[in-house]
Structure formats: C-alpha cells, structure tokens
Amino acid sequence: MKEKILNFLNEGKPLLWIKGQNFHEIESIIVEGLNAFENKRYYIYEKGTTINRQNNSVEVGMGNLFTTLDELYPQGIRKVPVFLLIKDSLAEIVDENNLEYIKEIVETKTANPKYNFTLIVVDQQNTVPEDLREITSLVDDDEQKRTAEMALKKAILDITKIEKIELDLAKLEKIELDLDSIEKIVQSLKDDIKKITVGEKPVELKPTFEDMVFVKGGKYQPSFADEEKEVSNLEVSKYLITQKLWQELIRNNPANFKGDENRPIEYISWWHALEFCNRLSEKYGLRPVYNLGKSDQGLLMINQLDGIVVSPDVADFNKTEGFRLPTEVEWEWFARGGQVALDNGTFDYTYSGSNNIDDVAWYTGNSKDTTQSVGLKMPNVLGLYDCNGNVWEWCYDTTESIESGKSYVYKAYDHSNVYRRLKGGSWCNNTEVCAVAVRGNSQATYAYSNAGFRIVRTVL
C-alpha cells in the first residue's frame, strides 16, 4: 500500500481512492510523500469539518464537501500544489453535485498536468462510486488481507480432506488423528486466530462495528497498581461519543456546548452513559451488559452471557458481548497505546500518543474555553483520538484502591460509595491534569460540561 500511495503522489495523478481501515497509518504515508514537495497545501475533510493539516486549524466557510471543493478548486491553478484528503465521507461524495465537481477536477488535471489540485479519498466502506471507477487510481488495503484469508481457508480445507494423519514424534511414538479429531483441532485454531500475517507484517482483523478499533490485550503495570494487570482483547471507540451519535439513540441533547454535532456529548452522568451503552447494544443485537432495573435506587447488576445476572463487584467482562464503559485498567492500556506502544518504546508518554500535549489534546492552553469536534488532534499509535483533553471520560470503577488479582474496582451495594473514576482531563484543565496517569472522580449522578465517555466491548 505504501509504495502505491507514494508512487501516486510522485506521478501527480488527480484522484486516489484508498480502501483501508487504518487511517493513522495511511495519513502517515501521505505526509511522508508530501515531504517531497517544498511548498504545498494539505487539507483533511471529514463529516462537515475541513482541517488545514499544516497548522491543524479548522477552515471557516468549508463546512460541507461542496464548499470545500469550491474553495480549493480554483487554488489548483497556482504554483503551490493543493492536496485534499477526504475521510469517511462517502455519503457526501455520492451526492450528485459533489460527484460532478470531483469529475470536473479530475478532467481538468488530466487535460492540464500543470493544474495542481489532487484529491485523495480514504473509504472504510470499500465502495468506489460507479461514476468515478474509470478515472480513479485505486489502492486496496484489503486485497492482501482477502488473499491471505483465502489461503488460510484453503489450507484448512486441504487439511480436513485428509482422512488420517500420522505424527511421528522423534520416532518415539506415533499419534493417529482421525477426521473428527482433525476438525476439532482446526475449529479450535480458527477460534483462536485474531490476526492474519501477510509476509512479515501482522494485519489486524477488522473491528465489528464502524468507528471501533481492535486493541489487542496484554499485561502491564498500571500507574495506580503495585502489580501487573491483564487486559483482554477489546474493541474501543475511535472517538469520544459525539452529540450526533447520542441524539440518534437517546433523542435529546443535554450538551452545554452545542452547535457542532461532532463535538463530544457532555453534561451526562455515569448512569446516563450506561443507558447509552445498553441502547447501542440493543441496536446491534447484542446482550446489554448493564441491568438497570434498579438504577433509580443506585443499584447496578451485570448481565453475563450464560444468562446469569451478577453483582458489579464480581462481574466477568469476558462473559459479556455488549458495549460498556472501560475499566480504569483497560482505559490506561489503550490510552497509552497497548502492546504496540510497549513494543516501540512509547508506552510511557505523558499523554496519549505524545509528550507534547498540543499534538494530541484540547486543554486550557488551546481549547478557547469550549469542547472541540472529535478527531482534530493527532491520534495515539492505536488510532484513538482525544484520550486526553476535550472531556473527561467516565470509567466503570469506583474509587477505592485496586486489590491484588483484580482487574477493576467496584464497591457494590454501598450507598455511601457514590464516586466513579474519570480519566483523561478536559478542555478546562491544565497540562498536568490532562496526563494519562492522573485520576479524577465524581459522583455517578452528577453531570458536567467537561465530562463525557467512550465505549468498549470485549472481543474473545
């Protein structure tokens, strides 16, 4: 993929369509390719927001794809090349007016190589509009994955066609496996496979739901614990839950900072966040994690997949399938970058993805005393945005010290214990408070204009 993207940039073609899930990796490749240009202008358009990537500022007057194209199109006649990266905006691209505009830009550059407006589309839905197929340079990040998947399936089928296999173990003993035994072993292997290797590069399987990122589990010592804790494989929401997504499910908008539905939802309590998780689980046909039948009394129970309902201090989240709040152990794992960051030596960054807070977070020094649309700052190495700053994130835990052997803290059935853990800092906090290791808390029934959440689900 990298070679194809760099070749496209070097050849100066008009339209590149990238089918891929890892936007962070794709953007890094594009930035690397653009470094070859001494002068350039680089913009990112996503869901009603246009960012000038060179100074990370939001462009006023470019609030939809048509106005963005209309503003940048004339700039292509100048000597400075203009690049527009369109991310996850297929619904707008297929709008008739926008399709015609894109075709006109491509035709203009094809007819006049000196014209300098280049379009790059990153599409997670893997659908190139029919009207653009013949004029698009295509990079398919999934093609290698599909090839590897087919090879894996073929290998499994080839194995299961053999009626009997003899394994000679150092000529000391022989083990005979009949077809039934082989099928059981193959099924066990298939259940355990979480990634497919293409060459020497591991390629993560796609997450189940849109805007979720697969985060491999592992072991580490949290900043607040005296021993290593284990984290299971998770899907984690790439962004803080937005006002748009909240309104789609809950049908109201309690946020203090309205005006842009891509801002994080805030002014919601811990209990409100649990209700959202359950409704999203129901939307996708998953068993809700939280039993909220007595939430008006401040009592919570947890639904396990075996049909048993257990108290929240003994719940096993490996036996749940729905969406939920992360535990504090899980939050610090993915905020720091998980196993990927451990492997590349960036796990101990002060903030999620950087030691420079301005790279990754909205805080008192740059927020202008308000929340900001999600995803405008750099993500961490896992592709997760806004883990620091913007709004605090509710976690599952209560606020006692975590015990040996435990993966979370929850003091159940104690009405005096009303506090829940918050992580990440917010738009109204300074650099010290926004650090990954800092621990906040608030009463579960309280709501603030600087507290929101993101969601996770266990993937086994």
Residue type, 430: N
Q: How confident is the model at residue 198 (pLDDT cuts 50, 70, 90)?
A: very low
Q: How far apart are the first and last CA of the chain?
A: 29
Token pair for 357:
């807070």
Structural domain boundaries in the chain = 1-140, 212-458
Q: How far apart are the C-alpha atoms of 50 and 67, rounded to whole Å?
A: 10
pLDDT for residue 136: 87
Using one digit for the tens of pLDDT, what is the confidence trace for 244-270? 999 999 999 999 999 999 999 999 999
pTM over 0.75: no
Which range in 29-38, 87-96, 198-207, 263-272 is most confidently predicted, on average pLDDT? 263-272
pLDDT for residue 175: 54
The highest-level CATH class for domain 1-140 is alpha beta
Return the higher-pLDDT residue of 27 and 424: 424
pLDDT for residue 414: 66
Q: What is the DSSP letter of 76?
A: G
How many CB atoms within 10 Å of residue 42?
A: 20
- Look up tokens 């939809």; give the residue: 64
59-98 in b/e form (b: 16+ CB < 10 A) is: beebebbeebbeebbeebeeeebbbbbbbbbeebbeeeeb
Domain made up of 212-458: CATH architecture: Alpha-Beta Complex (3.90)
Helix 23-34 with 2-11: angle, nearest 10 deg: 40
pLDDT for residue 442: 95
Whether 197 has a pLDDT exceeding 50, the answer reads: no
Whether 403 has a pLDDT exceeding 60, the answer reads: yes
For the chain, give the longest Cα–Cα distance: 78
Looking at 85-94, 99-108, 246-255, which range is the least confident one?
Answer: 85-94
Using one digit for the tens of pLDDT, what is the confidence trace for 151-194? 555 555 555 444 444 444 444 445 566 666 666 665 555 555 54
Nearest-5° angle of CA 336, CA 337, CA 343?
Answer: 115
pLDDT for residue 203: 41
Looking at 205-209, 315-319, 382-386, which range is the least confident one?
Answer: 205-209
Whether 200 has a pLDDT exceeding 60, the answer reads: no
Cβ 33 vs Cβ 67: under 8 Å:
no
